[in-house]
Amino acid sequence: MRDTDLILKRGDCYKLLAACFYEPDQEMFLGEHLSENLTDLLNACQCPKAAAAASVLQAALTNSDPEELLIEFARLFVGPFELGAPPYGSVYLEENGRLMGDSTLAVQRKYREAGLAQEIKEAPDHIALELEFLHYLCRMEAEALAKNLPEQAEEWAAIEAEFLCRLLRPWVPTFCEKIRQGTATGFYRGLADCLDNFVAEIGLFPAIMPAQQESALANVCRTAL
């Protein structure tokens, strides 16, 4: 029997991590207790290394200058010059770092198959969009369970597992390492550690799938590596 509350908490982990890869709003992050909430959620999802990384974000935010955070965000993820850590999956998955390659089209196809139309101009394989998509999948799974539709819930969970392992997990470690190498800012270094560990820990599957499905879906991750 799936734990609906745990599914929603996992989804909220994706959602809060996604928020961190948009233009930073220090006042909002602190006012909404982002670090504390993320730490609690990650602990509930049995991701202790990610939770430990999230716990340092509060101090990093408190000790950061808001303008410096904005500058560092732009330098790492936006430009206009060479990006310190491009936030697009295709940069890491395609030969010669080609944007909008086959991996991007695969991501876009998954969005469409799940009933979503991309209405913003950002590339489909931006880290924030991929994390928000995983949040959506968790909510749909929880909604199916609330309606007593277990087979439909399994389908949403399987989409999450495949997307996580085939389209997100293969590039996140390199992306996070680029962040760590490219910045001395405590917030973004801590965020890189948190995301890196979360994607690794959540991919172990006990928090995602019932025990009887772990073995089959774990193979998805193994073949993706």
Domain around 76: 4-224
pLDDT tens for the 225 residues of the chain, in order: 568 999 999 999 999 999 999 999 999 999 999 999 999 999 999 999 999 999 999 899 999 999 999 999 999 999 877 899 999 999 999 987 677 788 999 999 999 999 887 676 788 999 999 999 999 999 999 999 999 999 999 999 999 999 999 999 999 999 999 999 999 999 999 999 999 999 999 865 544 544 444 444 445 444 443
Instruction: Print burial letters for 139-154: b (CB count within 10 Å at least 16), e (below 16).
Output: bbbbbbbeeeeeeebb
Q: What is the pLDDT of residue 204?
A: 59
Return the pLDDT at 82: 86
What's the CATH code of the domain at 9?
A: 1.10.3480.10
Residue 152 tokens read as 């439909």
Q: What is the pLDDT of residue 81?
A: 78
Q: Provide the domain count of the chain.
A: 1
